[in-house]
Every structure is written in C-alpha cells, then in structure tokens.
Chain A
Amino acid sequence: MHTSARWSALLLAPAVLLVAICFVVPIGSIVLRSFTEPELGLATYERLFADPTTLRVLGRTLLVALGAVGLCLLFGYPYAYLMTLVGPDMRAVLMVLVLVPFWTSLMARTFAWVSLLQRDGPVSALLAFAGVPGVTLLGTAAGVMIGMVQILLPYMVLTLSTTLSRIDRGLLTAAQSLGANRYRTFFQVYLPLSLPGVFAGSALVFILALGFYITPQLLGSPRESLIAQVIGVRVERLVDFAGAGGLSLIVLLTTALCLAAAVLAFRPVRAMLGQGGDRR
C-alpha cells in the first residue's frame, strides 16, 4: 500500500536511532580517539606498530582464525553434506544436534571446555590412555583452538547446509550419466556448486574468530594472547582507549575486507553457476 516517506521515517526512527546512538557512535568515537589522543595524528599507530608484540599478536590471531576456518570446514562440510543425503527424520535429528549447541550459552560451553581440558582432566586422561601421558591443553594455543572450533562449528554447518540443500542433485545424476565417476562428479560438479556456502561459512567463522574474547581468555594463556585479549587488556588494565581504538580499527578493517571479499566472491561464483535468481 502507499506508505508515505513520513510514515516510513517514523517506523524506522526507533531502530535507526537506537543503533546509531547506542552502537555506531561508540564505535566511531573509540576509533576517533585513536587519532586524537593524546594529540591529533598517527602517534597511536606509531606506538602500536613500534611494539613488536602487536604484529606478533595480529599474526597469531589471523593464524588461529584461519585454522579455525579450516577445521570447521573439515568437520562441517561432510556433516552438512550428509544432511542432504539422509531422509527428513534423520535430517531433523542432525539439525537439532547442531542447533542445541548453537543456542547454548557461550559461557556454559566454554566452562565445559575448561573442565575438560584442565590438568588431569578427562582429555588428559584420554590422551594418556592413547599413549601420550602428561599433557594439559588448558592454557595452550591448541586448547584455544579446540574450544573455538567446537563453538564455531554450528555457524559453519548452518551456513553450508543452506547452500548444499539447494544444489540440484539431478545435475550429479546428469554428470554421472555423461560418464563422470563419483569422485569427478563430486570435485568437478558438486564442490564448485557448494563454493558460495563455503565462502559464506568461512567468512562468518573467520569474523567471529577474530573477535573471540571469552574463550581464549579462559582456555588460553596471557603469553599467547590474541588481539581481542590485547584490546581488552588495553582498556581494563592500561585504560588506553586510544590504543584499544587503534587495534579495533585494525580488526574492523580486516572484518570489512573479509566481508567484501565474501560478497564479491559470492557474485561471480553465483553468476557463473547461474544460481542467481533465488530472490523474488
């Protein structure tokens, strides 16, 4: 129906004002502080990059995030693929198995890992049983990675399963009827068709991993901290909002770059595969 510009402005106002004032202004102001405190200029960035730990932390964070993406794909892709093969009842069960952890409190799940990975905990016992005694994963990068992958895995599976469930299995039968064997069919037909979902899921997991604070804080160690922890420390211990703003800008730019890449990667892939017109 005809909705006048005034009406739609009125309807949009509460949400837009809330997000703009209570979210965009804070983000803008902390980034701004990195350029204005203690004085106008790039002093904060000179300071940040003069500190060798900044680059080390940044590199470590990117590596951990990439590792999390890789492992999430390794576990998530076959699982999402299986979801497209089974019947509706089994699919519902597999879906619930993803959704329950997805909706369970992050704090509860991180705590579960703290208790599992602790010294002489169940994981240590399991490793000792397997012939590797005396290992404690709590407080190590490996421990952080395990917890992160388990917590981020549902995001990957949910994104992938949306894409995979839309792939027309008739194409695979067609490819096989044209003489392709199972492996060729998978790698030359199915995998390319699923790439949009792979990109979207990877971008999502990567972005979430970049900003992870609670899990590395509880499962990792201060000696191997990630960028989120460094930002937290700057604010909590050092009351250095300028430095935190500078690091935040770096994280934001990485996120934006990653989003842009995902959006751009999506389009040509989609156009190429002629999957475009699924919006009405």
Chain B
Amino acid sequence: MNQRTPVRLPLALWAGVTALLLVAPTLVVIPLSFTERRSFSFPIEGWSLQWYERFFTDPRWYGALGTSIAVAIGAALVATVAGTLAAIALDRARLRYGWLIRALLLLPVVVPQIVAAVAIFGTYLGWGISGTPLGLLLAHIVLAIPFVVIPVSTALQSFDPTLERAAAVLGAGGWGRFWQVQLPLISPGVITGFVFAFVTSLDEVVIAYFLQTPTLRSLPVQMYSSVTVETDPTIAVASSLMLVFSTIVILLPRFFAARRRRLLKAKETP
C-alpha cells in the first residue's frame, strides 16, 4: 500500500455531520410508527402496535401494498427480459445508430418525473388505460428499462467474447451458447437489473399518483394521501417497512459476499 493521506479532524467532523444528515432524519419514522395517538407529534407519550395492526387489516393499506408488489414484480420481470435482450443486441451488433437506440432506452431516467407523469396521464387517458393496472404496469416497465439496460451492459462489457467462440466450436448452437454460457456469466448484471427495476417501481409515486383511481392505489400513493388528506400514523408503519426493506436489499449482497470471503479464507487455511 502506498502511504495514506492523514484524515484531518475538520474533514472527519464535516463528513460525520453529512452521514448524520443522510441517515438520521429517516429513522424518525420508526418511533412514530409505535405512537399511541392519532398524530405525528412529538414527544411520543404512549406506545402501541395499533398502526401495525391497522396496516395489515385495513384493505386500503394492505391492498395498496399488494398492488405495489404485484405491479413491481410484473414491471421488473418484463423490464428485465426486454432490457437484457436489448442490451445484448446493442453489445453484439455494431449498429450504426446503436448510440441513438441506447439514448432512447435511457430516456426515461432523464426526463423529469413530473413531465413523464402528466404526459403519460394525458395519453393513457385517451387510450382508456389510465387508472387500470395495465396502464400503471406499462408506465413502470418503461421507467424500469434503463435500470436493467445499464447494469446488463456493464456485465456484457466484461464478458470475454472468445468464451462464446469456444462454446460455438465445441458444438453449442445459438440457444446453447446463450443459456449455458452467456446468461450464467452476465447473471449478476441481470439480477442487479431486476432488483433495480423492482425497487424503482415499488418507490415510484408521481406517475402512480396521476394514474390512480380509488380502487387502484400503489402503496406510495396511499402514503401520499394519508399525509395530505388525513393524518394517519399508519404511514409511519409503511415508511418503517420500506426503510427495513431497502436496508435489507443493500446489506444482503454484502453479507453474502463477506461470508463467501470468510469461507474461502477458511478453505485456504485448513
């Protein structure tokens, strides 16, 4: 290792403040979710699980959770298949307008959410799919495609093309090469893409807000209206669950990676 620049105290302190700013504010939702009163106010005087009970018994809440999960799974599956195929085509064929197609596929991340939302609302209204599960699903698929294309393209860049030649000369046809060699080797990128797509759909508020009907509400939209229309501490429960979920998503792969490293180390020094 080359010598390390010493970390000066002011820098460390400022970074500590930043870390606190990043993480601490969101944590406030956890105590709020156990409050006894029907308000968001502090300090919390009595504790109860009533809002958790409500979350899992009130059809508006667990229904919204079900809608969100169903749409997120559907959108992530379709976006992962479509995005992976597109990334493969863009990687292999040196298409003259490949950059243009790539730019098109990445467009949904660049366009400001509010513009996408009102545009999609206006058009889907005309097509009669606003307020339907299909409309929400289509919007979320499109929004999630860039989040698949990016990690799969990265995985493809580190894929050694001579492996495909080797597979071909050893007798594997197009399908065999794809299923037995290429897909297993880019699968980390595909899985990452699926997770990105799933979380993107699960968290999306603005489009879902414009496409909602009283019967079709995703969880974030239900949360939104529980702040604006009524003061319902069940939102704190939903927020806490979301926070726990995202923490698991972040920590799980790191946990497995650390365990694999430990196992490898143990294998080397029996």
A residues lining the B interface (CB < 8 Å): 1, 3, 5, 7-9, 11-12, 14-16, 18-20, 22-27, 29-31, 33, 75-76, 78-79, 81-82, 85-87, 92, 94, 96-101, 103-109, 111-116, 118, 120-122, 125, 150, 153-154, 157, 169-170, 172-173, 207-208, 210-214, 217-218, 228, 231-232, 234-236, 241, 244-245, 248, 251-252, 255, 259, 280
Residue B264 CB within 8 A of the other chain: no
Q: Which range contains the number of B residues in contact with the other chain? A: 35 or more
* Distance of A53 Cα from B44 Cα, bound (Å): 42
B residues lining the A interface (CB < 8 Å): 2-5, 7, 11-12, 14-15, 17-19, 21-23, 25-29, 32, 40-42, 78, 81-83, 85-86, 88-90, 92-93, 95, 101, 104-105, 107-108, 110-124, 138-139, 141-143, 145, 149, 157, 161, 164-165, 168, 174, 177, 199, 202-203, 205-206, 209-210, 220, 223-224, 227-228, 235-236, 238-240, 242-243, 246-247, 249-251, 254
* Chain B residue at smallest Cβ distance from A244: B118
Residues on B with beta carbons closer than 8 Å to the beta carbon of A172: 5
What would 5 A/B residue contacts be, using CB atoms closer than 8 Å? A8-B89, A14-B82, A75-B18, A106-B220, A107-B203
Residues on B with beta carbons closer than 8 Å to the beta carbon of A107: 203, 205, 220, 223-224, 239, 242
Residues on B with beta carbons closer than 8 Å to the beta carbon of A27: 111, 115-116, 119
* Distance of A121 Cα from B82 Cα, bound (Å): 47
Contact A30-B118, Cβ < 8 Å, known A18-B82, A101-B23:
yes
A98 lies within 8 A of B22 (CB)? yes
Residues on B with beta carbons closer than 8 Å to the beta carbon of A76: 18
B239 lies within 8 A of A248 (CB)? no
* Distance of A255 Cα from B111 Cα, bound (Å): 8
CB distance from A254 to the nearest CB of B (A): 9
A248 lies within 8 A of B119 (CB)? yes
B123 lies within 8 A of A25 (CB)? yes
CB distance from A43 to the nearest CB of B (A): 18
Contact A19-B5, Cβ < 8 Å, known A153-B21, A244-B118:
no
Contact A103-B250, Cβ < 8 Å, known A76-B18, A97-B22, A255-B111:
yes
CB distance from B174 to the nearest CB of A (A): 8
CB distance from B106 to the nearest CB of A (A): 9
Residues on A with beta carbons closer than 8 Å to the beta carbon of B112: 207-208, 210-211, 228, 251-252, 255
Other-chain contact of B250, A26, A82, A96, A125 (Cβ < 8 Å) = A96
B114 lies within 8 A of A232 (CB)? yes
Residues on B with beta carbons closer than 8 Å to the beta carbon of A118: 40-41
B242 lies within 8 A of A1 (CB)? no
Residues on B with beta carbons closer than 8 Å to the beta carbon of A104: 26, 242-243, 246-247
Residues on A with beta carbons closer than 8 Å to the beta carbon of B168: 1
* Chain B residue at smallest Cβ distance from A4: B93
- Per DSSP, chain B at the interface is helix
A153 lies within 8 A of B120 (CB)? no
Residues on B with beta carbons closer than 8 Å to the beta carbon of A103: 199, 246, 249-250
Contact A121-B243, Cβ < 8 Å, known A15-B105, A78-B18, A108-B26:
no
Residues on B with beta carbons closer than 8 Å to the beta carbon of A87: 4
Residues on B with beta carbons closer than 8 Å to the beta carbon of A100: 22-23, 243, 246-247, 250
Other-chain contact of B239, A3, A30, A111, A212 (Cβ < 8 Å) = A111
Residues on B with beta carbons closer than 8 Å to the beta carbon of A31: 119
CB distance from B24 to the nearest CB of A (A): 9
B123 lies within 8 A of A105 (CB)? no
Other-chain contact of A30, B119, B143, B161 (Cβ < 8 Å) = B119
Residues on B with beta carbons closer than 8 Å to the beta carbon of A150: 21-22, 25
Contact A82-B12, Cβ < 8 Å, known A106-B205, A211-B112:
yes
Other-chain contact of B14, A1, A78, A255 (Cβ < 8 Å) = A78
* Distance of A78 Cα from B19 Cα, bound (Å): 11
* Chain A residue at smallest Cβ distance from B182: A1
B15 lies within 8 A of A214 (CB)? no
B210 lies within 8 A of A235 (CB)? yes
Residues on A with beta carbons closer than 8 Å to the beta carbon of B93: 3, 5, 7-8
